[in-house]
Amino acid sequence: MKEESRWFCFLKCFLFIISARQWVSASRNLRPCNETDYYYEYTECDSAGSRWRVAIPHNLGTCSALPTPTRGTDCSFSCAAGEFLEMSTQQCTPCAAGSYSLGSGVRFDQWDTIPAGFTSLATYMDPGPSGEESQACNSSSWTPQGVYLESSRDECTVSLVYAVHLEKQGSVSFSYQYPDNNIFLEFYVQNEQCQEMAQTDDQKWIKLTTNGEWDTHTVNLKSGTNILYWRTTGVLVGGKMVKPVLLRNIQIEGVAYTSECFPCRPGWFSSAPGSSSCQPCPRNTSSNKGATSCTPCPDTQYSHEGWSQCKERPPCSEKDYFQIHTACDSEGKTQVMYRWVEPRICEENVTGAVALPPTGEREACPPCNPGYYNTNDSTCFPCPPGTHSDGTSVCEECPAGTEPVLGYEYKWWNVLPSNMKTSCFNVGNSKCDDMNGWEVAGDHIRSGAGGSDNDYLILNLHVPGFKLPTSLAGMTGSEFGRITFVFETICSADCELYFMMVKSTTVVESWEGSKERQSYTHIMTRNASVSYTWAFQRTNQAQDVRRYISDVVILYSVSVTNVQDGVASACRACALLSQSSQRSGSCIPCPAGFYIDRDTNRCQECPPNTYLSGHHTYGEDACLPCGPGSKSNKEHSRCYSDCSFSHTENNRTLTFDLSSLSTVASLTIGPSFTSKGTKYLHVFNVSLCGHQGKMAAVCTDNVTDIANKDMGSDSTQFVNSVDSFICQSTIIPADGRGFRMALASQSISLADTFVGATVDSDLDGINARPELFSDNSKSIPDINFFYSACPAGTCDGCTFHFLWESGSACPRCTQDDYHQIEGACKGGAQETLSVWNEPKLCIKGMSLPAKSSAPCEAIALWLKAGVGGGAFLAVLLVSLTCYFWKKNKRLEYKYSRLVMSANKDCELPVADSCALAEGEEPEDDVVYSHKPSLLGKLRAIANKVHPSLRDGSGGNDEKEEGRKEGRKEGEREIERERRSESW
């Protein structure tokens, strides 16, 4: 904007004061000046409001003796419309025939070229990747198209500028078409110092128009120099081309005078002097510039209204006629008729021309539409109030306990319903104004031929308002009615079908190219009168011939529910008063969140955590359960998250308190860039939970919202804002295109319904796709919130994934989240401290227990028990050692006595021989690797043989006997010892 303002500061228009003086002739041979050698101009007005008229030569030095300056008219003087100021006499004079004048104003309605004084300037404020200025907008400009001026279709900022000096307060008004909210149209005024004048938002930002409709915008101007700006900027997010802005009939009031009249442009004329405007030439006539009348075309040529020349008539073809169905006659028959497209421009009596097909045979008429009945003359009339019909039978009253279902249901198209209208409109001319845009065809209605391929073929349906059935009157849901239609498009070019609500000035939905037979539903969330419009354009390229006449749109059926003063095709059950009431049997509205019990026809409240479907209240199955982790609001109209969530895993329950996340949060993604480098951002507003189910996230188109403020009381339903759980807006930063504020557009809802919250990755066919996010290495699971949009079934299949990381999403703390640490015993007291487990993965909930203290002893009980047990074992061990030592001594003493008793003769034993005597068995002596026990020693002694017996020197019998006797004595001694021990 700064660059643009600096550029135009050098283009400021100044009125120069011309000093009148006598030119001294350099040669007495110069001839005197005549009236053709000069022209008159006024000097700039002085402080008293006066001025002078001076003569200015066309060429200096060609003549002499110019008229002397004279006092001019007052600065506030102006002529009436149709007159101009004759400067030689300074009197107002009527314009000649073939021209026109506005008197104190100027008008621009010829756009074969950009008129003098206008400048088209394209700017691009976003620098390139390396900081250089982009050159992508050098070719962008406002383009003249004959009867209108067309803005650029790209995303460059293109300004149309005109500077005018007003001697008094005036105004500027212009006609425009602005059908696309993806392009911004701004009109503002600057003074001669390039300072923007004070303007309200509704003066600066132009409101949208419907397709094919012209609107007028007027702004008051102050005296002095005014620089007028018409500036557009396209937003090509998604790659779809925008529809351009069209300007025509720019008129400026407040100039002091006009010294000449403007000639009528070609194809227009003014037949009488003193005209303030020109008229277009009728069809099959033409005219040149400044014409006073129009010239008829020859019989072999044709022209449309406002044409400057005639064209040769082509041979007639199949594209020049169409078929229609006649109305049903008294016998219930209809005929297929063929008619020429009017105005007919083709010639049927030349070589190669086709003739109009003959009229078809009579055939049976289709039945009446539901809610209507057939009279004897085959005319369909609406059923009286309180009755219904399917269209093939007479109207019948609804049974007791039921009420009629009011609405429109059109599926047979023998004649156009009385509340529907059809028309044809062309932006450039009016050659199809008298044509039908659509034609009925029995079981469908289809687009007509039109005058050219770029005509808008319009079908309009008016709905006076909506009225909920009695049983639904107490509901607080968001659905008042819905429109559903089935259509099909067959195209070979760039055709487009628009579905619009007229008062909204915005297109609800559009379809390009051929589309198979399909159904579309739109829900009305507010109760108001509305007109639905279908507009079909075979191509948006201006063409004088019809090349795509076979490109059509077919509308099979249209259904609108809950229409005020509509007709009924069926009856529905309603809630009844109690039998004790005097009005028993009458239908009553059920309170919000109540359904109609099938058995009693009484109102029953839906169970907890269920919601009531807005268009179905009969039976308990109308109460649909809310998803996991959700609950219903008080009216049972919507499910929502109350900001609490619980999950049980491994015998542990995690409870989450998300109340701190209940406020609406905003998320900005970007910046992103379009194909030409325009910077834009995506802003998402998220209402995660709480608010009793109210969709608190709001996205607003700030420009179109400002422009629609003056649409009246009914416009509140058409404000370009979106209320949702999650909504998205496209933002163009203020520094990105030179605008003085950020522009928000394309606001859409991404989440109309809360499906549920769970730790699972799938719910009701929606997949959270955890692979898109980083792995959760913590023991706390992720909570997945699932939402869906477009409950009417018009979703385009797009799924948005958001990852919200917050400390507030940790579970509430429990006793499993901390542990205790016991301190040392000091001064007979021991402290116990509680600390959180690390890392801490919880918030709120249970608090840490306070530090506690308990009495204790210096030596612990277990230590005392250990020391006492050790002392006892030591005493026991010493006692056993002493006992066995004493016992060993006694056995040694007895052994000595036993040895002594075995050697009574005092004979010393001889040494044993290691060898065995002949015939002697070896002894089974036990060999020990360590010191043998006392019992082992005794056994070894008892088993030894006297040396005298082992070598055979002495009596063997005596020896053997002595041995046995000694052994027995030893055994008896040992036995006595054992008995004494046992005692």
Which tens digit of pLDDT belongs to each residue from 193-207? Answer: 778 888 877 778 788
Among 182, 87, 252, smallest CA distance to 703 is for 182
The average confidence (pLDDT) of the chain is 79
What is the rounded average pLDDT of the residues 429-435?
66
Q: With cut-offs at 50, 70 and 90, classify the pLDDT of residue 25.
A: very low
- Using CA atoms, how far apart are residues 688 and 728, in angstroms rounded to an integer? 14
H helices present in 625-678, as ranges? none
| Lowest mean pLDDT segment, chosen from 46-60, 793-807, 820-834 | 793-807
Q: How far is CA 366 from CA 330, 333, 339, 392, in A?
A: 14, 9, 22, 10
- Give yes or no for a contact between 34 and 81, defined as CB atoms under 8 angstroms apart: no
Whether residue 24 is predicted with pLDDT greater than 50 in this model: the reply is no
Place 904 in a pLDDT band, splitting at 50, 70 and 90. low
Indicate the pLDDT class of residue 579, thresholds 50, 70 and 90.
low
Choice among 796-805, 831-840, 929-938 with the minimum mean pLDDT: 929-938
| Token representation of residue 953 | 């020197």
Asked if 152 and 240 touch (Cβ cutoff 8 Å), the reply is: no
- State residue 107's pLDDT score: 84
pLDDT, tens only, 105-121: 888 887 888 888 899 98
Mean pLDDT of the 497-510 span: 75
Residue range 585-606, pLDDT digits in tens? 578 888 888 888 888 888 888 9
Amino acid at 962: G
CA gap 634, 639 in Å, rounded:
10
Domain 120-125+140-251 in CATH 2.60.120.200? yes
Q: What is the pLDDT of residues 703-740, one digit of tens each?
A: 554 444 443 434 333 446 788 899 988 887 766 455 55
Note whether 773 and 759 are within 8 A (CB): no
Nearest to 230 by CA among 312, 311, 307, 142: 142
| Residue reference for tokens 């055994």 | 971
At 897, which helix (H) or strand (E)?
Answer: helix 861-902
Measured distance CA(116)–CA(653) in Å, rounded: 79
> Counting Cβ atoms within 10 Å, is residue 721 exposed (0-12), middle (13-18) or buried (19+)?
middle
Please return the burial class of 196, using the count of CB atoms within 10 Å of its CB with bins 0-12, 13-18 and 19+.
middle
Domains 120-125+140-251 and 388-570 share a fold: yes
Residue 29 has pLDDT above 60, yes or no: yes
Residue 6's pLDDT band (cuts 50, 70, 90): very low
How far apart, in whole angstroms, are the C-alpha atoms of residue 572 and residue 795? 29
Task: Compute the distance between CA of residue 554 and CA of residue 409 in angstroms, rounded to an integer.
Answer: 16
Mean pLDDT of 123-152: 70
- Strand 52-57 and strand 38-42: the pairing is antiparallel
Nearest to 215 by CA among 254, 182, 187: 187
Residue 981: burial class (beta carbons within 10 Å; 0-12, 13-18, 19+): exposed
Higher pLDDT, 768 or 474: 768
Whether pLDDT at 968 is above 90: no
Position 616 scores a pLDDT of 73
Lowest mean pLDDT: which of 127-131, 308-312, 440-444?
Answer: 127-131
Q: Is the pLDDT of residue 70 over 80?
A: yes
For the cut 70, the answer to whether the pLDDT of residue 239 exceeds it is no
The set of residues, in sequence order, having a beta carbon less than 8 Å from that of 663 and lying 6+ positions away, is none
Average pLDDT over residues 771-785: 82
Dihedral pair phi/psi, residue 821, rounded to 5°: -125, 125
Span 437-460, pLDDT tens digits: 898 888 899 998 777 788 888 899
Helix or strand (DSSP H, E) at 333: strand 333-340
DSSP string, 205-229: BPPP--TT--EEEEEEE-SEEEEEE
pLDDT over 50 (residue 249): yes
Percent of the chain topping pLDDT 90: 19
Neighbours of 248 (CB within 10 A): 20
Is 90 exceeded by the pLDDT of residue 292? yes
Q: Check pLDDT > 60 for residue 877.
A: yes
User: Does residue 927 carry a pLDDT above 50?
Assistant: no
Q: What is the pLDDT of residues 251-262, one digit of tens each?
A: 998 887 777 888
Cβ-contact 148, 180 below 8 angstroms: no
In this prediction the pTM is: 0.63
Kindly tell me if the per-residue pLDDT of 688 is higher than 60. yes
Which of 108-117, 372-381, 554-563 has the least mean pLDDT? 372-381
10 Å Cβ neighbour count for 575? Answer: 27
Task: Please give the DSSP secondary-structure letter assigned to residue 970.
Answer: H
Strand-pair partners of 163: 227
Domain ranges of the chain: 120-125+140-251, 388-570, 644-703+720-771+779-810, 818-855
Residue 900 phi, psi (nearest 5): -65, -40
Asked if pLDDT for residue 130 goes beyond 50, the answer is: no
Question: Tell me: domain 388-570, CATH 3.40.50.2300, correct?
Answer: no
Please identify which residue in the block is written with the tokens 């040992």: 974
CA distance 887 to 302: 151
- CA-to-CA separations, 358 to 335, 365, 415, 439, 442, in angstroms, rounded: 11, 20, 21, 19, 19
Determine the pLDDT at residue 939: 60
pLDDT score of 20: 34
Q: Give the Cα separation of 266 and 88 in Å (integer).
A: 30
Q: How far apart are the first and last CA of the chain?
A: 125
